[in-house]
Structure 1
Amino acid sequence: MARPPAPSTAKPSAALLPAARPPARRIDRGMLPTLLGYAMRRAQSAVFADFAATFTQAGEALTPGEFGLLVLVERNTGLSQMALARALGIDRSTLVPILDRLQARGLLVRHRSPTDARTHALGLTADGEAALARFTRLVKAHEKHIASGLSASETRTLIELLEKVHAAARSL
């Protein structure tokens, strides 16, 4: 059997080397910057990236959706999976894998509802309560960072305006 050729030790000619990177081309975004949805999506991407960086730097693993879920369960012990899905604006088939992950991490428990055996009531474990306290400190730091360019009044106004957009979109 023939032996494969040995790797070449010759240096590539300058013609084969990648050229110096040209200056970044300014992208014409057309009408996109005037679209509310586009601006919201760009902001969401930046916010989620900062959330992930904040948690990663602290050695924690959590998504914004998981944080919201844990807060709702902590504030509404015994909440059913269906009510939680509605509150989060997601369907049950999306919710169940999230609950499975959080339960596997020992953060939450599901048990049969004492009033309706067909439903599961949700609650945080002691570890879940401790984790939520850590997560809340991280989220507060994250929120401070992402709102650093806004005054407290502007932050409140932005939240109010986003609630109006949400309500209008849900009414369609």
Structure 2
Amino acid sequence: MARNSPAPRSAKSRAGIRPLPGRARSENGNAHSDLMNGEIGLDALAGHAGYAVRRFQIWVFQDFIRTLGAVDIRPTQYSVMTVIGANPGLSQMAVAKRLGIERARLVHLLDSLEQRDLVSRVKSAADRRSHALHLTARGRTALAQFKRLAAEHERHVAEKLGKENRKKLLQILSDFT
């Protein structure tokens, strides 16, 4: 009568839902409620610099977008305009290389900034295949406003980290800029 069959499984395990290894069930015996309460363990991720940097980057971008939302400027657009403003006449290739942006993505981004009359592309006198990038008059005015809002965003970062920690973080990350 007794076969060597496994013991009957619960409905949840038959459906393929099992508790995560190494996770204790919550007081009510339901690991799913732990997930819903944000009590998911990170295991080794907690010690990974890349994971922490990525989570911080998400927070930074969300705050930047929230702070500069009224002027409809994204972090990459701001970066491109800032570099062009500081270096009028740079080529698209030079901007892409300096900021680590794929050339095709930069072309699309420049198209959108040009449509908003913030940036202009002028054929290079030295190389007809290349364009020199400049801020328009409207772009220079807008960039000044963007910089004021970005400074507010940086104050938010300092509030989150503390002024000294922000300074230390910038010093640590300076090798990558």
TM tier, shorter chain?
A: 0.7 to 0.9
CA shift for structure 1 position 33? 1.2
Aligned-partner residue type, residue 102 of structure 1: L
Cα displacement string for residues 95-132 of structure 1 (whole angstroms, at most 9, x for unaligned residues): 10000000000000001111211110000000000100
Task: State the partner residue of 2:152.
Answer: 141
State the TM-score, normalized to the length of structure 2. Answer: 0.76
- Is residue 157–residue 166 contact of structure 2 (8 Å, CA) maintained in 1? no
Q: How many residues end up aligned between the 2 structures?
A: 143
Picking from 83, 94, 97, the partner of 2:105 is 94
- Distance in 2 (CA, whole Å) between partners of 1:25 and 1:93 is 39
* Structure 1: unaligned runs, 5 residues or longer: 1-21, 168-172
- Mark the CA change 1:79 to 1:25 in structure 2 (over 3 Å): closer, same or farther: closer
CA RMSD of aligned residues (A): 1.5
CA shift for structure 1 position 154? 2.5
Task: State the partner residue of 2:140.
Answer: 129
CA shift for structure 1 position 25? 4.7
- Distance in 1 (CA, whole Å) between partners of 2:66 and 2:57 is 14
SS, match of residue 98 in structure 1: helix
User: Are residues 1:119 and 2:130 paired?
Assistant: yes
- Distance in 2 (CA, whole Å) between partners of 1:147 and 1:101 is 31
CA shift for structure 1 position 27? 0.8
- Mark the CA change 1:34 to 1:130 in structure 2 (over 3 Å): closer, same or farther: same
Cα displacement string for residues 38-79 of structure 1 (whole angstroms, at most 9, x for unaligned residues): 0000000001111111122xx211111110100000010000
Aligned-partner residue type, residue 106 of structure 1: D
- Percent same amino acid among aligned pairs? 40
- 1:38-57 equivalent positions in 2, closer than 5 A: 38-56=51-69
Task: State the partner residue of 1:155.
Answer: 166
CA shift for structure 1 position 82? 0.5
- Distance in 2 (CA, whole Å) between partners of 1:152 and 1:30 is 30
State the TM-score, normalized to the length of structure 1. Answer: 0.78
- Mark the CA change 1:25 to 1:69 in structure 2 (over 3 Å): closer, same or farther: closer
